[in-house]
Structure 1
Amino acid sequence: MFKWLLLLAGAYLFYRWLRGKKHIQTRGRETHNPKSNKAQRLTEPEEMVQCQYCKVHLPKSEAKIFDERFYCSQDHLNTLDQQGWMGYAKWRLSPNQDVRPENISPDLVVIHHISLPPGEFKEKEASQYIIDFFQNQLDAKAHPYFEEIAGQKVSSHFLITRTGELIQFVSTQNKAWHAGVSSFMGREKCNDFSIGVELEGDGDSPFEEAQYQTLKKLIRTLESRYPNLQFAGHSDIAPDRKTDPGMYFDWKKFQKETNISLKNLPYGLTSR
């Protein structure tokens, strides 16, 4: 009798072991089954994000992503938003800005050039120094020239690097500190009513084609918000102090590619 009890107990334990093994194998097949994983993913809610331009919410997988911002469409990414920020620019906020005078909207674009240290872009990527400068983060010890400009507080609305990258520091609704003491067609204090655009360059070298293409796109976008913009170089509004954008800026090419009316280029198309 005792022998039969041992046989029954052994058979029961073998049966439990066999069931457990089959259960483990079944779970393993489910784990490696793509359809099973897909079904599980479908039940999980997708992350939602907000369009920077129109504030609509949409699934992250459907959004256009640029510089860690989200847009619901390419059109919204390629637009100047209601706060004065360009969707396709990298945003690097500068503390060097003010509000514009009441009831003043920009009607002038001032074109500059900047290079830090001067001419170094010819040998290596140097645009980060300009970004640091406009954000008051330039390390004065990094180059002897930086010690000369360490105390300056300046900015621009936009910078176009040698590779054509567009960076924005100040909303177009606000006043950037780019023009200094200046006068445009008898109007003083050009910062009050202008948008500053810096091209990375030193005045001794031609600008890159990529810079002209980005500038063309930028101007067309700005004109959709601010019609009848006029255009000048920094040397036009501060002739006793400044020479930029310099002889190598091709005003004829700029006018032809943007189709700006000649009346909106009061200083003409001659390189200067």
Structure 2
Amino acid sequence: MSEPESPRFSSALRQSGRLPTARWCPSPNFGPRPDADDVSLVVVHNISLPPEQFGGSHIEDFFCNRLDTSAHPYFEEIGGMKVSSHLLIRRDGELLQFVSLRDRAWHAGRSVFCGREECNDYAVGIELEGADQIPYTEEQYRKLAEVTRDIMAAWPAITEDRIAGHSDIAPGRKTDPGPAFDWCYFRRLLAG
């Protein structure tokens, strides 16, 4: 069990929006939040490029608009999309950050949580390298719990009941993180 982050760490994270443990990979796909201090939701996603294949630089390239669309037939379908996420947790637990937590990443699309629309305006998007039906790794669960605790300490409006899957905020349109994601296990780790 890790110790809770210090108030100084939380304040620095809130000011900078950057996690010091993440590899910084700046994406051009972001904009200002309507209110940079209004961060009150964490959304858990999954992504794999090509679908259900792991490793390589394709996810990073996709979020940074440099995906080689000739590398796989699926990439031709998504090559023109402009999307991002704040964070990505790879299968081995490596953490990448694409957008400052103070800014609006383009991860949720049309969405609603507790009656409030446009979740990108107030949510932190965390992608897990994975697929709906493939179990996530222990390293991913541990890193997700650690990072989520850090974010919750910096933005206390994010409580355990304000952590959702993409499928929860865009039902019928999105299915991630999928049935392979063990919410009970994640919540136990989050509680420490």
TM-score normalised by length of structure 1: 0.64
| Aligned mate of 1:246, from 142, 162, 178 | 178
CA positional deviation for 1:104: 4.8
Residue 94 of structure 1 pairs with residue 45 of structure 2? no
- By percentage of residues, which structure has more helix? 1
Corresponding residue of 1:55: none
1:138 match: 67
**SS of alignment partner, residue 82 of structure 1:** helix
Does the Cα contact within 8 Å between 2:93 and 2:139 map onto a contact in 1? yes
Deviations 1:176-219 (A, max 9, x none): 00000001010000000000000000112100000001111101
Distance in 2 (CA, whole Å) between partners of 1:224 and 1:181 is: 27
Distance 1:101 1:236 in 2: 23
Report the CA distance between 1:81 and its aligned residue: 6.1
State the identity as a percent. Answer: 52
1:207 aligns with 2:136: yes
Letter matched to residue 186 of structure 1 = G
Checking the alignment, whether the CA contact within 8 Å between 2:87 and 2:99 is kept in structure 1 is: yes
Residue equivalent to 2:166: 234
**Amino acid across the alignment from 1:188:** E
* Alignment RMSD: 1.6
Looking at structure 2, the residues matched to 103 and 239 of structure 1 have their Cα atoms a distance apart, in angstroms, of 26
Q: Following the alignment from structure 2 to structure 1, what is the Cα–Cα distance between the partners of residues 187 and 157?
A: 14
Aligned position for 1:116: 49
The answer (yes or no) to whether the contact 1:104–1:192 under 8 Å persists in 2 is no
The match for 2:152 is 223
CA contact (8 A) 1:81 1:87 kept: no
Deviations 1:112-144 (A, max 9, x none): 0000001122xxx23x10000000000000111
SS at match of 1:159: strand
Q: Matches of 1:242 and 1:184 in 2, distance apart?
A: 14
Flag structure 1 segments of 5+ consecutive residues without an equivalent.
1-74, 261-272
Contact 2:36-2:102 within 8 A present in 1 as well: no
- 1:83 to 2:16 alignment: yes
Count of equivalent residues: 180
Structure 2 length-normalised TM: 0.90
Higher RCO (Cα < 8 Å, 6 or more apart): 2
1:178 is matched with: 107
Three-state SS of the structure 2 residue aligned to 1:244 is coil
Q: Distance in 1 between matches of 2:59 and 2:123?
A: 20
Contact 2:42 2:125 survives alignment (8 Å): yes
Who wins on radius of gyration, i.e. which is larger? 1
Q: Partner of 2:59: helix, strand, or coil?
A: helix
